[in-house]
């Protein structure tokens, strides 16, 4: 089922369709490129200016995985707080971060209810769904 068929009556469909088209343009081949493009495009839509740094190849630690790679990057960047959504609770060892001088902060996303086309709100849908039903504010 296409986005146009599913969402064509949604209040901000045209604006968000433009975001989706930018994110999934044909020149992006790697998932990391698509992820970065999705973040930067949504930030631009919201008029948020922030620096996005790609660490995929800059620290020569591709052989490392998971929290070890994160800790390595944070130490090289002299960063001392790592934020992750609460879903990372089972992925990371808080003590290992602490012993490397890094505080691990797990955050819970706020539940947001907004008007959808159905009477019962369906929670935890995609960012694109949220954008299509809500003003930029």
The whole-angstrom separation of Cα 46 and Cα 49 is 9
The closest alpha carbon to 101, from 131, 83, 81, 124, belongs to 81
pLDDT (tens digit per residue) in 49-96: 998 887 767 788 888 899 999 999 999 999 999 999 888 888 999 999
The model's pTM is 0.71
Beta-bridge mates of residue 43? none
Cβ contacts of residue 19 below 8 Å, gap of 6+? 41, 42, 45, 128, 131
Structure tokens at 77: 């960047």
CB of 23 within 8 A of CB of 45? no
Angle made by CA atoms 132, 130, 84, in degrees to the nearest 5: 145
Helices marked H in the chain — which ranges?
3-7, 13-23, 31-45, 66-76, 94-99, 127-133
Stretch 113-130: mean pLDDT, rounded?
80
Evaluate if residue 39 carries a pLDDT over 50: yes
CB of 131 within 8 A of CB of 42? yes
């Amino acid at each position: 089922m296409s986005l146009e068929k599913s969402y064509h009556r949604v209040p901000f469909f045209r604006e968000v369709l433009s975001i989706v088209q930018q994110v999934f343009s044909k020149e992006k081949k790697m998932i990391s490129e698509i992820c970065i493009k999705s973040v930067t495009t949504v930030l631009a839509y919201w008029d948020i200016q922030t620096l996005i740094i790609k660490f995929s190849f800059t620290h020569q630690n591709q052989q490392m995985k998971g929290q070890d790679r994160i800790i390595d990057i944070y130490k090289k960047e002299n960063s001392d707080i790592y934020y992750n959504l609460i879903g990372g609770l089972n992925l990371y060892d808080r003590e290992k971060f602490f012993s490397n001088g890094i505080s691990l902060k797990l955050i819970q996303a706020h539940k947001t209810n907004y008007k959808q086309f159905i009477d019962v709100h369906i929670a935890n849908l995609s960012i694109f769904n949220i954008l299509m039903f809500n003003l930029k504010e």
